[in-house]
Amino acid sequence: MSSTPFHAWRVHRNAGRIEPRYELLSLHDLGPGEVLIRAEYSSLNYKDALALSGRGKILRHFPLIAGIDVAGRIESSTDPRFKPGDHVLVTGCGLGEETDGGFSAFVRIAGEYVIPLPNGLDTRSAMQIGTAGFTAALACYRMETNGQQPTAGPIAVTGASGGAGSLAVAYFSRRGYRVVAFSSKPSAHDWLRGLGAREVIAPGDSDMGARPLESAHYAGAVDTVGGELLPRLLAVTDWWGNIAAIGNAGGDTFTASVYPFILRGVSLLGINSMATPRPLRIKTWENLARTLDRDLLDRIAGREIALADIMDSIEPMLAGRAQPGRTVVRIGKP
Ligand SMILES: NC(=O)c1ccc[n+]([C@@H]2O[C@H](COP(=O)([O-])OP(=O)(O)OC[C@H]3O[C@@H](n4cnc5c(N)ncnc54)[C@H](OP(=O)(O)O)[C@@H]3O)[C@@H](O)[C@H]2O)c1
């Protein structure tokens, strides 16, 4: 087992101020857990940007290593399900929120949260997907469990140029859905068509009206933006449609009429990727590995940065100015 010091982004709270520090740590500094992972890749999520900036209350105690995603190899394990050298991933499950996270060369965590890498993925492609893709696939699972089918009609995806949005565009279109992508970035529109969107709309140009119920345009939606967009999606969703509420990039409160629920039977499904039961977590990763190919993942998340450089990406992400797609974080490249 390595006794060499290693780097991690550990967040401190100092007189009420959040201070992320790129620190040299030893294994003794990490929290408890049966499994020690030698990290190869992580990825950058909106939640990580909130945690590292202090803009959102993501970290439950201090100091704590940030990073809600990690993939790497087992260094050591007292959990019999894993042996040294196994390739694994962790997304959510409190990583980088309640326990020391993935922006670190080593991650120690409970075996319950560790997922064997499914066939078809390596540690880099797993992190190209990360929490964003896992959440998109979970949204699809929840919607389909509630009756959603490609034949019912188009699915709207909001915040489509972001991580969760772009993976939802790709995942739903690969599963046979006609996807209408909503993106405020005109420069991302061709790229989104390339990922599978049949139509791309700037939110300001959409004809979703202002009344509690409008003509139905969509059979369902995946909403990563929240705020004022969510009630508009409710108003234009067809009979028995499902809206998966994933995110709050555009606001965390909304006011909506009950009519879409009681007159059209629309369902609003809450998606929480963090607390997904292990069997569903494993099944969802297998679905992702089967559905998304390498070429597609390189188009969504071809951008790679070193662990030391992650702070440069935080502000653009929070301001909605990040480059389209996702950023993979290189830690201990295999
Ligand atoms: N529920 C869960 O388990 C779960 C899991 C993952 C993510 N999330 C949430 O989903 C949302 C997206 O996460 P992400 O990691 O995909 O983030 P991201 O890569 O930064 O994408 C966010 C996208 O939202 C759009 N957007 C619209 N208004 C915005 C605003 N005022 N500020 C910033 N962006 C705005 C932008 O897309 P366009 O320019 O294309 O419109 C932006 O690219 C976040 O709220 C995140 O917390 C939730």
Supply the residue whose CA is at minimum distance from atom 25 of ligand 1. Answer: 159
Supply the residue whose CA is at minimum distance from atom 43 of ligand 1. Answer: 162
pLDDT of residue 207: 80
pLDDT in tens, 8-64: 999 999 998 999 999 999 999 999 999 999 999 999 999 999 999 999 999 999 999
Q: Would you place residue 321 in the very low, low, confident or very high pLDDT band (cuts 50, 70, 90)?
A: confident
Atom of ligand 1 nearest to the CA of 274: 3
Which residues have C-beta within 8 Å of that of residue 202, sequence separation ≥ 6?
182, 183, 184, 186
Ligand 1 mutation pick, 142, 222, 224, 243, max ligand atoms within 8 A of CB:
224
pLDDT in tens, 137-147: 999 999 999 99
pLDDT of residue 2: 58
Cis, bond preceding 5 (omega within 30 deg of 0)? no
Atom of ligand 1 nearest to the CA of 166: 16
> Could you tell me the pTM of the whole model?
0.97
Ligand 1 mutation pick, 44, 45, 53, 230, max ligand atoms within 8 A of CB:
45
Buried b or exposed e, range 149-183, using 16+ CB within 10 angstroms: eeebbbbbbbbbbbbbbbbbbbbbbbbebbbbbbb
Supply the residue whose CA is at minimum distance from atom 9 of ligand 1. Answer: 247
User: What residue ranges define each of the domains in the chain, with the CATH number in brackets?
Assistant: 6-117+302-330 (3.90.180.10), 131-270 (3.40.50.720)
Atom of ligand 1 nearest to the CA of 185: 39
Rounded to whole angstroms, how far apart are CA atoms 157 and 142? 15
pLDDT in tens, 221-231: 999 999 999 99
Rounded to whole angstroms, how far apart are CA atoms 260 and 269? 14
Q: Would you place residue 1 in the very low, low, confident or very high pLDDT band (cuts 50, 70, 90)?
A: low
Q: Which residues' Cβ are closer than 6 Å to ligand 1?
A: 45-47, 131-132, 135, 159-165, 183-185, 188, 224-225, 246-250, 271-274, 317, 320, 322
- CB 72 within 8 Å of CB 333: no
Supply the residue whose CA is at minimum distance from atom 13 of ligand 1. Answer: 46
Ligand 1 centroid, distance to 20 Cα (angstroms): 22
User: How many CA within 13 A on the CB side of residue 131?
Assistant: 29
Rounded to whole angstroms, how far apart are CA atoms 230 and 251? 10
